[in-house]
Structure 1
């Protein structure tokens, strides 16, 4: 990282916190309201990414704050091995109902990584609960450039090269990867969507055959790939084709909607736009909007029935699963989204954001692709728009943009990541404003981003 980009930080300060970079102490956020965070240096910071696509209601929402306070005054914690709570039951029913009963149970944990771990374990145990059991099913198929979390199982399922790299020797060898549905770089010239889908379905089927069709527990994928590729949606028909391959070989389909789900993509559940129903769905970030750590797994009834007819016990548990305060926060967030019709606002403001981004950056010399759904949009940067050649990793384009946006004169979040092309090379940024964002705020986001890009590319192109 260019040290000049860190100049505004307390780089020489001491801290007892193990920050994400041990050589860098970030500025402190001291307050927040709506789409804005307030920093210790007086900066009014427009949180146009909701952190990591988390703060779907912005900051300081009074109804959510009050629901958390009310729950704390009732009960803050009880262990689920001994007791249940009213609020966990209400949240589960609310979310099951939101699927139209297509998914029948909810398992609540604290983070997206935990939710993915639980989904992987549920998949494996499901096949042991069947009569007769299928103990040979021990494998998972996932996709290249993907991200499912940082715990060992979730990280092993993901295809994010840089995050995996230090821990490769620790991963289970029962996970293999196929190509993502990434039209900008994956489709051949002149290839129709249907032909591209057929080619990817053939690749998945070939992987089933390679590892042994009766050894696969599940195929796991993100409906809209977030951090690893920068808001890449699938082309029409892709997930129907993937589901068909899974069903052909008796494997489950896990959709990881931790980042793209719970309204972020323009429907409460991203799979509603794909014409399929997953067997397991992980949810997280926009579930609780950052008001408390919470995530979950929505589970199809066929899996629940297998457990009911088998041992009846999921051999997995965590101290804070079903935490009452987290459930209260999630329930309050979801009620606000429903009562204020915010998923419709996601669609409307998402359309406006798309138009503004394409109008502003479509002809930019270094913008290769603009893609996304709802209020979940990515911009991919390239050195050459014709060849799609990315910038050198040393240029750190994405992180330069993120750091420049954080300067007081800009005061905007532009979520950056690298590895877009092959897990190492390639840069993108993500925009994921709150569901109650206004046109005026979107205008500020786009106009400020344009200034940031001008500043960064003046340096990069002249280097």
Structure 2
């Protein structure tokens, strides 16, 4: 009997014993192509340079509390991230994962306005069908209704506007540009409803991951969002926990949208699974406001800036930049998407194939013409996950795509090191799983 508290007590998962490139291997020797570990393993499972960096750091220093010390790998990783970050980003606050990063971002936004002499700014606006983490603050910001439902009485007050979800929400006669402006207008409307001087920040994913299934905004949407935030003194927080660190073909996903946030959150691909690490990056203006005020960000965790975690992150980011992996993600993303379109583009139950780079979603529908989703009681996403896993594919199906209850999609996020020859290791198991489930 296991004494581990599992994610699901009615499931009995196999034991993973090793990893080799894009594959995970269980105790029976079965191999699984890893295309769905929540977009974490961007370098695969056996990167020698990263493991070497971790071992070397362990030999020098395992831990030093940031209340007393900084460390060399933390300083070097912060320098490297800032050197490649969007314009205006000057400081990095290391944490242990995505939920901690978004939680820290929310608290920093509030403290910034307090120290600026605007304590009335308390409202956070986010988007429906988003996901920002599982801590109470992060869960409150997220718009994933299924995850929020049972904890609703505990959640803090957050406004939610519509996502930029072209496949479903763009009108038939509406141009992409017009739709983007209409979607962005919801932010200004909500700011005015709440009171322009009471809103502290707007939080969004540049490419929505788990809840919507790799949905990028239409061109121009985030530029208009940036303008609205600037007009009303609202901070723009971009959550790149899942879509950042090269996943979309850009080190920072917001580069594709041509905007710079005030606060930016990263995790997952930052450590590539080799160590638990995340980070909240902020503008120099925000940092200076705190530094010239109390000088103390009233936040913190024991393991922030962990030397071994930051050593791993440093090795990962260097690999992303030095090995030409950004261009590889773009090229392989195009090839994988082309193969998916060839296999499923005319499938009667695949309504949309979307994404950027090696971050791709397939939306499953009951009727391709009307875009009607399957009845949620059928549990399509759960069955897809189980069927694909049986075929040797780890992918990330989710239900509730449309509104938290209706709709199903499959999210694909393979390692950046995958080859063109491995594309069938994704497409064929998906084809068999879809056939079996439907």
TM (norm. structure 2) is 0.99
Q: CA RMSD, aligned part only?
A: 0.9
Question: Offset at 1:46?
Answer: 0.8
Higher alpha-carbon deviation: 198-207 or 97-106: 97-106
Question: Offset at 1:26?
Answer: 1.1
Paired residue for 2:410? 429
Q: 267, 274, 281: which one pairs with 2:250?
A: 267
Q: Does 1:163 align with 2:147?
A: yes
Paired residue for 1:30? 17
Residues 86, 260 of structure 2: 8 Å contact kept: no
Paired residue for 1:11? none
CA distance, structure 2, for counterparts of residue 104 and residue 251 of structure 1: 19
Paired residue for 1:369? 352
What is the count of residue pairs matched by the alignment?
A: 438
CA distance, structure 2, for counterparts of residue 17 and residue 23 of structure 1: 13
Q: 11, 30, 36: which one pairs with 1:43?
A: 30
CA distance, structure 2, for counterparts of residue 337 and residue 387 of structure 1: 41
Q: Does 1:291 align with 2:278?
A: no
Question: Offset at 1:453?
Answer: 1.3
Question: Offset at 1:232?
Answer: 0.4
Unpaired runs of 5+ residues, structure 1, are 1-13, 458-463
Matches within 5 A, 1:276-425: 276-407=259-390, 410-425=391-406
CA distance, structure 2, for counterparts of residue 96 and residue 395 of structure 1: 47
Paired residue for 2:61? 75
Unpaired runs of 5+ residues, structure 2, are none
CA distance, structure 2, for counterparts of residue 438 and residue 31 of structure 1: 20
Q: 420, 430, 437: which one pairs with 1:439?
A: 420
CA distance, structure 2, for counterparts of residue 261 and residue 361 of structure 1: 27
Higher alpha-carbon deviation: 439-448 or 154-163: 439-448
Question: Offset at 1:99?
Answer: 1.6
Question: Offset at 1:201?
Answer: 2.4
Residues 86, 252 of structure 2: 8 Å contact kept: no
- SS of residue in 2 equivalent to 1:380: strand
Q: Does 1:15 align with 2:2?
A: yes
Higher alpha-carbon deviation: 192-201 or 269-278: 192-201
CA distance, structure 2, for counterparts of residue 100 and residue 183 of structure 1: 26
Q: CA distance change for structure 1 residues 54 and 340 in 2, over 3 Å: closer, same or farther?
A: same
Residues 15, 25 of structure 1: 8 Å contact kept: no
Question: Offset at 1:100?
Answer: 6.1
Can you list the C-alpha shifts for 1:261-306, whole angstroms capped at 9, x where unaligned?
0100111111111111000000011111000000001111110111
Runs of 4+ in 1 over 6 A off after TM superposition: none
CA distance, structure 1, for counterparts of residue 222 and residue 317 of structure 2: 26
CA distance, structure 2, for counterparts of residue 22 and residue 360 of structure 1: 35
Question: Offset at 1:111?
Answer: 0.9
Question: Offset at 1:339?
Answer: 1.5
- SS of residue in 1 equivalent to 2:38: helix
Paired residue for 1:152? 136
Can you list the C-alpha shifts for 1:10-44, whole angstroms capped at 9, x where unaligned?
xxxx3211111112221110000100011112211
Q: 88, 93, 118: which one pairs with 1:134?
A: 118
CA distance, structure 2, for counterparts of residue 25 and residue 111 of structure 1: 26
Residues 265, 374 of structure 1: 8 Å contact kept: yes
CA distance, structure 2, for counterparts of residue 245 and residue 251 of structure 1: 8
- SS of residue in 2 equivalent to 1:213: coil
Residues 86, 255 of structure 2: 8 Å contact kept: no
Question: Offset at 1:242?
Answer: 0.7
Q: Does 1:113 align with 2:99?
A: yes
CA distance, structure 2, for counterparts of residue 48 and residue 414 of structure 1: 5
Residues 206, 240 of structure 2: 8 Å contact kept: yes
Question: Offset at 1:443?
Answer: 2.7
Higher alpha-carbon deviation: 336-345 or 234-243: 336-345
Question: Offset at 1:102?
Answer: 2.9
Q: 237, 242, 249: which one pairs with 1:254?
A: 237
Residues 96, 102 of structure 1: 8 Å contact kept: no
CA distance, structure 2, for counterparts of residue 100 and residue 234 of structure 1: 18
Residues 370, 378 of structure 1: 8 Å contact kept: yes
- SS of residue in 1 equivalent to 2:394: coil
Q: 78, 90, 93: which one pairs with 2:76?
A: 90
CA distance, structure 1, for counterparts of residue 425 and residue 57 of structure 2: 37
